[in-house]
Amino acid sequence: MKFFIDTANLDQIREAQNLGVLDGVTTNPSLMAKEGITGRKNILQHYIDICDIVDGDVSAEVIAVDFEGMVNEGEELAALHSQIVVKLPMIKEGIKAAKYFSDKGIRTNVTLVFSAGQALLAAKAGATYVSPFIGRLDDISTDGLGLIAEIRQIYDNYGYETQILAASVRHTMHVIDCAKIGADVMTGPLSSIEGLLKHPLTDIGLAKFLEDYKKGN
C-alpha cells in the first residue's frame, strides 16, 4: 500500500520523506489555507515546493466547479510539475473533466467520494485515483472502511485500474484496516504513519538490550 501524507505543511512533508516510506502528498484548499498559503501565485509555488521535497505524486485541487474552468485550472496545475495529479470534485462537471484529462494522459484524483456509485463513475471516467473519505463517514456514524471494501470489490469485479486512495484517514488503525481491505493508497496525517512505529514491547525490549550490553562493556 502506498503512503501519502495529507498536509500542505512543508516541515511535516520533509519529515515523512526523510522516514523513507513516503509515496506522495495530498492537499486540498482547506489544508493550503491552514498553512496560510493564499493567492494563486503563492499556491502554485507551494505545489512546486512540495514536489521538490517528495519523489511521488502530489494532488493539487482545482477550485473551479464548471467544466471549462476545471480544464483550464487542471492544465495549468499539470504543467507545473510532472508529479502533479489534478484533483477534481465528485460532481457531474468533475467526472466530465476526469474523462477529458484521462483521454489526454493527464492524471487525476476524484475527491469528495462518499459512495460506491460515485467511485464506479470515477473509474469509468478513467480517474487515476478515487478518494473515499473514510473519517468523515465515520464522523456521521457511517462505516468508512465498509465503503473501501465495497469499492475494492467493484473494482476487482471489472479490473478497473483506478487506484483506491483511502482519504480522511484519522489514525493508525485506519491505516492498518485499509491495508487489510486492500486499499491501494492511504493518505493521512504524519501521526497516522508514525503511530505504526509504536509498541511498548519494542521500547521495553530495546531498553533491556541496551542495559545488558552496558553490563558487559
Longest dimension (CA), the chain: 72
Residues that bind ligand E4P (CB under 6 A): 6, 26, 28, 111, 131, 133, 135-136, 167-168, 187
Q: Which is nearer to ligand E4P, 111 or 162 (CB)?
A: 111
Q: Is 81 helix (H, G, I), strand (E, B) or coil?
A: coil
Q: Which is nearer to ligand E4P, 114 or 155 (CB)?
A: 114
Q: Mapped to the 3 state alphabet, what secondary structure does the chain carry?
A: CEEEEECCCHHHHHHHHHHCCCCEEECCHHHHHHCCCCCHHHHHHHHHHHHHHCCCEEEEECCCCCHHHHHHHHHHHHHHCCCEEEEEECCHHHHHHHHHHHHHCCCEEEEEECCHHHHHHHHHCCCCEEEEEHHHHHHCCCCHHHHHHHHHHHHHHHCCCCEEEEECCCCHHHHHHHHHHCCCEEEECHHHHHHHHCCHHHHHHHHHHHHHHHHHC
Q: Which is nearer to ligand E4P, 139 or 212 (CB)?
A: 139
Min CB(90)–ligand E4P separation in Å: 12
Q: Which helix (H) or strand (E) holds 205?
A: helix 200-216
Cα gap 64→62, rounded to integer Å: 6
* Residue nearest ligand E4P, CB atom distance: 168
87 carries an active-site annotation? yes
Q: Which is nearer to ligand E4P, 100 or 111 (CB)?
A: 111
Q: Which is nearer to ligand E4P, 124 or 136 (CB)?
A: 136
Min CB(184)–ligand E4P separation in Å: 14
Min CB(217)–ligand E4P separation in Å: 48
Q: Which is the catalytic residue, given 87, 92, 104, 215?
A: 87
Catalytic residues: 87
